[in-house]
Structure 1
């Protein structure tokens, strides 16, 4: 038993190390890390002695999906999502329904022996795009803020729509269900999901606001996605929707109930969790791919026919998205004023279409198909092909954006806005200090605070430095070099034994915090 546990731990450690190595190579080479991990997993699975990997859908559904959705929702902007709600709702609800019917129809026509319910279920499996996969292939594409916001909102919400449709189709596979029952079930799942997410958000927000220790606060943060998912599931609601709602609520309200330390720790924790889990999932897809291929071949359908059907289904996924984009674009060009304000030009359709990458949700959903589903093994292989195919189709997105003239330097735009906002915040803080200052306030303290605020304001009005950067960026660059010298001095003092370890750690924490702020100002949230 001990040896089995050791092998499991060794496998997990090895997988994490591989994910880190592959990600480093992908970032330096410009390749797609998800595709590299899938290929690496498939190669490993072919080695002699490597056991056949199978996936327990409950582990993906209950263990993997909630933290990934929650992490993405925490970092999403509720304000931006509200501003772009029309295209987001059209994509996350209307497009999902259209894709379910289109892909389901193609599957029903081409897959031998498949029932209508099973074909619709497969359409629901491959309908949702994946937040993690889309970010993995587009984070360096330099997408305009409008397009990236719409993709973020679509990816967050279409999981719930597709999973609700999948649940209804699964019921239809094993029992008789009417369209009215499907509609009622959909509404109930949405309402229960929304309610579950809001309840968890309110309760955890209230409780975490009473906790002074960042460790306790972030510990409850780790519980949030699972609490929301399970509560919604118990209430027969959409667990995915509940997690998204809870994440959006807590992410938006965090500054009002969390300390700065808790927010920094929570963000770092969730970024780490997302990185590990998302990369392990892509590696897992590769590990299970050879088993899925063998199972499909054993079905008796000729290989050439399997290949043809797989490409036809991939084409249906892509074309349904492209057609939907062509159909709804006139609404944003010539429709009501509210929709015209979205700013959705025709050239956006192609990069938006290519950004419809499938990933974790499709992987989890295809294994939810009941064992009685006709051609279940074949459908699993087709789902894998669509995940890999959409990852490949997303590779030329940066070139497409450049060709369409849509590339913007998002970081420069955000940096300018951040400097303007920082100047406003500094001015407001300085005004408060001046108001509260009395005869006991040391003039040197007030002078330092004033100089800091005035420097930030001057940076906004001043032109670029000789290096082309703003004053704030030049200041951040020099401060980073300053912190490096300070850190060396502290470590030297510790090596000489001139200060107690508690003092050394406290000073190091201060230097680290200030350096982190300077690096965020210089590089952004990378």
Structure 2
């Protein structure tokens, strides 16, 4: 009962603190840490002690898996050199630098000092994504942080195991001890990396095979819950990297989910893992703070003492913060010198500065510190030093990153640019669907007409979010009218349910259909409201090659600055305006009367440009692409 009450208290406190942080505009991880640390010194608060097994087996695999399945494998492959440098080179560089500092400041040998360096070296996936999501960072930076923190744990844990063996200590989950040599270390790294990847790939193939035979979302989601442990446990038993195994399995399953799962299973998995990730991320930061009180008590009774331990912790924190940019910027220069490909994908220097200051530590540092065997000399002081680095990096970097990103002009994803990309992607997908529709045998004309109309509405709904006019768009009007209708329908269903005349299962099916429709409408409305007032140009990643635009100017004076020429003559209203870059004709969008598209059909003029304030994107009708 005590355990159940403790778990309930941690969960409720995590949710309350997260809600308060959201209302205050504060970073939830930092507030959770502060509340946990303060509570750890309150005598009435029960001790919440984490064991290595709880962290490494119970928390780390699902947290890594939740991040991996939502991370783009394509983006990681594009940044593979940078991620390898961060997840391997930077970890070893940091561990070595910390070892030099710790040896000078503490009465420990170099092997144990290197173990401390391995503990504090890896930035954490949970901390990185939580802070990046809170403050809003460019997706390229988030990809690098996620890729680094997903893969650097293996380097750190293998380094820790090797250092402890060299110091004559045995870590939990470390496997058999052996004589340490350069060859044995290389074999250990190879076994951890390659073995973990192979086991992760095998777990992916096994789960993929099972999913091809599963057609129930509940069963598929249950398999998803087991996936991180299916990958992690065999890898650890074979003394390979369970971290790499979980990440490999998660990345491959996430990448292949459109093929392996049906739509219902994907929605169920996404919803469930989002909830699990939310609960675990918030709870872990609170629990980390709760460890502080007992650690302080243990260190006060040690030979090193609390004051000296805290000073060494601050020195190690400064070392970690300084070594990161000292590695990142020379490595950036090296990438630019040796590879033309790397030069083309190299992030701007301002994003490099953000990356060098975004090395927050978290759950992996705590887990690695708990792996120190009980007989480790000065163990309480070493664990507290790791806590100081972890908390210090979260507080210092987490609170200053927003200011630094604003000062450097580094911003997160722009909803308007996202909407433009989404419109282009949906237009391409809908076009493929309509071409497939034309080839289907025995078409029903009424059904074909309805499908074509729905396809046009899907495309127009996204394009409508880009304008800034005062006129209500058709999608906004539909949403404004449909939501009250859904509320009335739900009230009627509740009245019917109260009468007891209809089976509960039938009512649940109808209610679920209403919920799906309402959630879709609300989601569309929220995304439309998120579109910001900012200049909008065609994003480079989806801009197509167009010979027609090359022969035309960037902009042109409109023939009629008052509005759509045809609408003005007919006395009708328009929503968004487009201008022909060949003749300056002003027409309305397809969500209005479609006069811009009609002008292309009549004149053959290929490229139009948005005439909405703050928008600079162009569209080629011939090539069907942004230019």
- TM-score of the superposed pair, with normalisation by structure 1: 0.92
**Which among 154, 164, 182 is matched to residue 160 of structure 1?**
154
Q: How far apart, CA to CA, are the structure 2 residues paired with 1:325 and 1:483?
A: 54
Shift of residue 332, structure 1, vs aligned partner: 4.9
Q: Which residue of 1 aligns with 2:564?
A: none
Q: How far apart, CA to CA, are the structure 2 residues paired with 1:49 and 1:244?
A: 40
User: Relative to 1, partners in 2 of residues 1:42 and 1:212: Cα closer, same or farther, differing over 3 Å?
Assistant: same
Q: How far apart, CA to CA, are the structure 2 residues paired with 1:133 and 1:227?
A: 25
User: Relative to 1, partners in 2 of residues 1:324 and 1:506: Cα closer, same or farther, differing over 3 Å?
Assistant: same
RMSD in angstroms over aligned alpha carbons? 2.4
User: Relative to 1, partners in 2 of residues 1:343 and 1:366: Cα closer, same or farther, differing over 3 Å?
Assistant: same
Cα deviation digits, residues 118-173 of structure 1 (max 9, x gap): 11111111111111111222213231121111111111111111112112112212
Q: How far apart, CA to CA, are the structure 1 residues paired with 2:441 and 2:95?
A: 64
Moved more, 306-315 or 474-483: 474-483
Q: Which residue of 2 aligns with 1:3?
A: none
Q: Which residue of 1 aligns with 2:64?
A: 69
Helix, strand or coil for the counterpart of 2:29?
A: helix
Q: Which residue of 1 aligns with 2:408?
A: 404
Q: Which residue of 2 aligns with 1:444?
A: 446
| 2:232 is aligned with 1:229 | yes
**Which among 103, 109, 126 is matched to residue 132 of structure 1?**
126
**Which among 343, 346, 357 is matched to residue 354 of structure 1?**
357
Q: How far apart, CA to CA, are the structure 1 residues paired with 2:441 and 2:522?
A: 32
Q: How far apart, CA to CA, are the structure 1 residues paired with 2:507 and 2:441?
A: 33
Q: How far apart, CA to CA, are the structure 1 residues paired with 2:47 and 2:374?
A: 19
Contact in 1 for aligned 2:423/2:463 (Cα 8 Å): no
User: Relative to 1, partners in 2 of residues 1:475 and 1:81: Cα closer, same or farther, differing over 3 Å?
Assistant: farther
Q: Which residue of 2 aligns with 1:145?
A: 139
1:478-497 matches, cutoff 5 A? 483-497=486-500
Shift of residue 289, structure 1, vs aligned partner: 0.3
Shift of residue 325, structure 1, vs aligned partner: 1.9
Q: Which residue of 2 aligns with 1:97?
A: 92
Cα deviation digits, residues 288-330 of structure 1 (max 9, x gap): 1011111112113244322221110000111111211221232
Q: Which residue of 2 aligns with 1:344?
A: 347
Shift of residue 477, structure 1, vs aligned partner: 6.6
Helix, strand or coil for the counterpart of 1:396?
A: helix
Q: How far apart, CA to CA, are the structure 1 residues paired with 2:471 and 2:21?
A: 29
Q: How far apart, CA to CA, are the structure 2 residues paired with 1:171 and 1:473?
A: 65
Moved more, 71-80 or 335-344: 335-344
Q: How far apart, CA to CA, are the structure 1 residues paired with 2:375 and 2:299?
A: 16
Moved more, 407-416 or 317-326: 407-416
- TM-score of the superposed pair, with normalisation by structure 2: 0.78
| 2:263 is aligned with 1:260 | yes
User: Relative to 1, partners in 2 of residues 1:522 and 1:140: Cα closer, same or farther, differing over 3 Å?
Assistant: farther
1 or 2, which has the higher helix percentage? 1
Shift of residue 250, structure 1, vs aligned partner: 0.6
Q: Which residue of 2 aligns with 1:246?
A: 249
Cα deviation digits, residues 173-220 of structure 1 (max 9, x gap): 226411221111111111110011000001101111111111111111
| 2:414 is aligned with 1:420 | no
Residues matched between the structures, number: 518
**Which among 12, 15, 36 is matched to residue 17 of structure 1?**
12
Moved more, 370-379 or 325-334: 325-334
Moved more, 113-122 or 516-525: 516-525
Bigger Rg over Cα = 2
Gaps of 5+ in 2: 169-176, 531-627
User: Relative to 1, partners in 2 of residues 1:17 and 1:87: Cα closer, same or farther, differing over 3 Å?
Assistant: same
1:350-389 matches, cutoff 5 A? 350-389=353-392
